[in-house]
Amino acid sequence: MPPKAKRVKQEGQQPEEEQSDEQQPEEQSPQQHQPQQHQPQQHQPQQHQPQQHQPQLHQPQQHQPQLHQPQLHLHALPTRAAVKASVRKDYTPMFEFFRDELDAHHARRDRLGKASRDVTALSKKIIFALHRVRGFQPGRLPQHIHDQVHVLLEQIAPLLANIAGEVQGINRHRYARSLTCLEELVEALAFREYLCTQTLMTFSSMSSIVDTSARRGVQIHGGVGVAGAGTEDVPTDDDVPDVPEPQLPRSPPSDDLPDLPMQDDSDSEDSYTPFDDEAGTLGLTHDDYLNGVFDLTGEMMRFATTSAALTGTLVRVHQGGGGRTIVQDMQDLGSFFRMLPPRSDKSWMMKMDVLLQSVRKVERIGYDRVVRGSERPEGWAPDTDAEGGGAR
């Protein structure tokens, strides 16, 4: 075998089975194998075809400018700050005014709510003290109850002064729902008037007492509407000064009745005059008065029940009261409220239902005393010492 054939066999031909007896033509024309050796070179461009896809590997590099977008925003901050400054100059003061107004509104409502709760609590204490009375007291309450009620009214006066300073102008109706304490105060004052005179205090007299109490609170504090005042500003029994009580106007129906302790005559300088706009006024509304009288019927019902259980008879006043019983007074109140124009608000309807229930309860007590009165001995009263009920 020639040396060239051996060389070709050693270099390019790996499978030995393909080299069979055809070695002779290879020996005769060894040059024909040279183009076959160059055929793999024709496929070299095909080997470089994957290199054509290399630019696709660099496609993520096209997104690299997007990574620098935050840097663009950082460079744009001065411009945005300038725009923000211009917007603040044009619109921000208006919204800051709204913010301050809302903050003041919520702070004022919180102060009124705290003062209202304090007045409500003190008014309830007055009612509890008045329920210790066992009958009508013409002209004056028992001394120990009168003193206790007087001290509680002195504690209410500064709170009313604080409320009056917050509810001037339109705020009186804006915060009307936060001033439910006035209904409780009207109830307490009307109940005291009823126990003393067996009459209903008029709206003008009630407004006079409420405004005068607020003025006395101003005299104690030295100013109207002390912001943020609450229970910590309420004077105790020891530090309540002896302030002369002003003269209050008398309602026409009660001109012939004796004066109440809170309506004693004093100097003309302290006579009642409505608050002017500078000093402020509490401004008792008709709704406050009517709602307080509505609640008064519940206290009258409890007073009638307690008195009938302890004395065995319905209380009445012969001096100045015309000998009327509390049943007649309750029936008159129920009739008066029925004659008022009907209202559709829920609170009015609920109070009217409670009023009618209280009237029925007192009527049932009166009917029981009349119908079954002959079954009990004269002077009968329940045995409060025995357990399980009265004497049989």
Give the SS3 label for residue 285.
coil
**Residue 241 CB coordination number (10 Å):** 9
- Burial of 188 (C-beta count, 10 Å sphere; 0-12/13-18/19+): buried
Joined tokens for residue 210: 């409420």
List all residues 6 or more positions away from 224 whose beta carbon is below 8 Å from its beta carbon.
Answer: 161, 164, 165, 218, 279, 280
**What is the distance of C-alpha 144 from the center of its chain?**
37
Contact between 271 and 100 under an 8 Å Cβ cutoff? The reply is: no
* Nearest alpha carbon to residue 196 among 153, 252, 156, 149: 149
Tokens 């309506």: give the residue: 263
Nearest-10 crossing angle of helices 286-311, 346-371: 20
User: What pLDDT is stored for residue 121 in this prediction?
Assistant: 95
Rounded distance, CA 186 to CA 206, Å?
7
Evaluate if residue 44 carries a pLDDT over 60.
Answer: no
pLDDT of residue 193: 92
- Name, in order, each residue with C-beta under 8 angstroms of 179's C-beta and a sequence gap of 6 or more: 112, 116, 163, 167, 288
In the chain, what's the furthest Cα-to-Cα distance? 163
pLDDT (mean) for 214-243: 49
Name residue 316's beta-bridge partners: 325
Give tens-digit pLDDT for 128-171.
999 998 777 777 888 999 999 999 999 999 999 889 888 888 88
Residue type, 210: V
Q: What is the pLDDT of residues 345-388, one digit of tens each?
A: 888 899 999 999 999 999 988 888 777 766 666 666 555 454 44
Share of the chain above pLDDT 70, in %: 53
Domains of the chain, CATH where assigned = 104-375 (1.20.58.2140)
Angle between helices 143-164 and 203-221 (to 10 degrees): 80
> What tens digit of pLDDT does each residue of 178-189 get?
899 999 999 999
Q: What is the pLDDT of residue 331?
A: 92
Enumerate residues 6+ apart whose C-beta is below 8 A from 325: 314, 315, 316, 366
Neighbouring CB atoms inside 10 A of 194's CB total: 21
Closest CA to 290 of 369, 250, 343, 237: 343
Residue type, position 233, single letter: D
111 contacts: CB under 8 Å, gap ≥ 6: 162, 166, 227, 228, 229, 230
pLDDT over 60 at 324, yes or no: yes
Query: Per-residue pLDDT averaged across 323-334, rounded?
Result: 87
Q: What pLDDT is recorded for position 332? A: 92
What is residue 216's DSSP assignment?
H
Q: Which of 16-25, 195-204, 269-278 has the lowest mean pLDDT?
A: 269-278
Is residue 192 classed exposed, middle or buried when 0-12, 13-18 and 19+ CB atoms within 10 A define those classes? buried
Distance in angstroms (rounded) separating the CA atoms of residues 107 and 133:
41
Q: Which two tokens stand for residue 150?
A: 């007087």
pLDDT at residue 8 tops 60: no
